[in-house]
């Protein structure tokens, strides 16, 4: 029987977790990785008054000694075939089971706590909170009114449209992301939308920038990277855009505000996107409680993994 010290709750494609797990192997530390796609292959045994075990490929894991949890994903895809009529009930049962199970590890250190992650991913609330804390944000509008949207777009020199959610689309055969993109009043006007439509759109004025800034935080440690890109694409995260990275230093007052934002959401780790304007102003865009970081460590030698390990061990 294996008694893991750390629980990794993630998915098969998570490179950052694999990167950390390699460090665990080097130190001969016990861990358990549970991928959201593999839930149907894992046998669970939970006694709410005591024992929690799971069996994976004939190996029994006793979860009673878990002291830390790295949380990335709650299962959202299940392999068990169900009828359309049964699907909502069964998916809700599964959701409540896993959320309840994870909450039993309340004495463990979480990066990040499950419900803190859930709250912090809400972009509208992010911007509301960041603005109240004194961070500068773009002029923004979330609306389901065609007239209000066009009025906003016409009032800006240039604008962007972005997902209200994280933009990640998980389908049966493919996973892809919807990125931030520029949009004009004419382009929006050409969309086949009712005067009041059922899914709000997220619009912002397009900020002139000299660079994008990715800030990775682990506890009180702040890793800031300046990103410059070729071309006029709005979203530097698109994989086909050529980018240059360099380590940069944020003003201490800005670092403190970002750490305060983390503390407000109850997070140990975050990936924060900012814009640096030609006038030297920093504009807050969003905070991601499960954002990626490995490519920055590989590109620039930043010891993000070391700081995460120190928090988990």
SS3 290: coil
Report the CATH number of the 6-111 domain: 3.40.50
Look up residue 136 and give its DSSP letter: B
pTM of the model: 0.86
pLDDT at position 37, please?
79
Q: Tell me: the pLDDT tens digits for 234-286? A: 665 666 667 789 999 999 999 999 999 999 999 999 999 999 999 999 999 99
DSSP lists the bridge partners of residue 162 as 202
Q: Tell me: the pLDDT tens digits for 10-63? A: 888 888 899 899 989 988 889 999 888 787 788 989 888 777 899 999 999 999
With b meaning 16 or more CB within 10 Å and e meaning fewer, what string describes 195-215?
Answer: eeeeeebbbbbbbebebbbbb
Task: Locate the domains of the chain by residue range.
Answer: 6-111, 139-205, 208-312
Q: Report CA-CA distances (Å) from 313 to 20, 25, 144, 307.
A: 12, 13, 46, 10
Report the CATH number of the 208-312 domain: 3.30.470.20
Q: Tell me: the pLDDT tens digits for 165-174? A: 876 655 556 6
pLDDT at position 87, please?
73
């Amino acid at each position: 029987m294996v008694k893991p010290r750390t629980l990794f709750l993630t998915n098969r494609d998570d490179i950052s977790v694999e990167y950390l797990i390699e460090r665990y192997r080097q130190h001969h530390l016990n861990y358990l990785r549970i991928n959201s796609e593999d839930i149907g292959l894992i046998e669970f045994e939970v006694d709410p008054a005591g024992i929690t075990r799971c069996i994976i490929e004939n190996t029994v894991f006793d979860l009673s000694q878990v002291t830390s949890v790295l949380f990335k994903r709650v299962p959202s895809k299940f392999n068990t075939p169900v009828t359309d009529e049964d699907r909502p009930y069964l998916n809700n049962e599964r959701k409540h089971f896993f959320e309840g199970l994870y909450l039993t590890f309340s004495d463990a250190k979480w990066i990040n706590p499950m419900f803190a992650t859930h709250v912090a991913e809400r972009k509208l609330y992010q911007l509301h909170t960041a603005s109240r804390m004194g961070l500068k944000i773009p002029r923004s509008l979330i609306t389901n009114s065609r007239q209000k949207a066009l009025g906003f777009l016409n009032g800006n020199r240039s604008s962007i449209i972005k997902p209200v959610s994280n933009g990640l689309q998980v389908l049966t055969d493919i996973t892809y992301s919807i990125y931030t993109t520029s949009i004009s009043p004419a382009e929006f006007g050409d969309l086949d939308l009712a005067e009041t439509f059922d899914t709000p759109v997220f619009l912002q004025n397009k900020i002139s920038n000299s660079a994008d800034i990715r800030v990775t935080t682990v506890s009180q440690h702040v890793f800031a990277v300046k990103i410059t890109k070729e071309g006029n694409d709005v979203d530097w995260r698109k994989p086909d855009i050529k980018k240059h990275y360099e380590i940069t230093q944020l003003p201490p007052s800005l670092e403190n505000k970002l750490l305060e934002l983390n503390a407000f959401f109850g997070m140990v780790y975050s990936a924060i996107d900012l814009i640096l304007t030609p006038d030297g102003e920093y504009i807050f865009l969003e905070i991601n409680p499960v954002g990626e970081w490995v490519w920055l460590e590989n590109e620039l030698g930043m010891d993000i993994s070391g700081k995460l390990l120190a928090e988990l061990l």
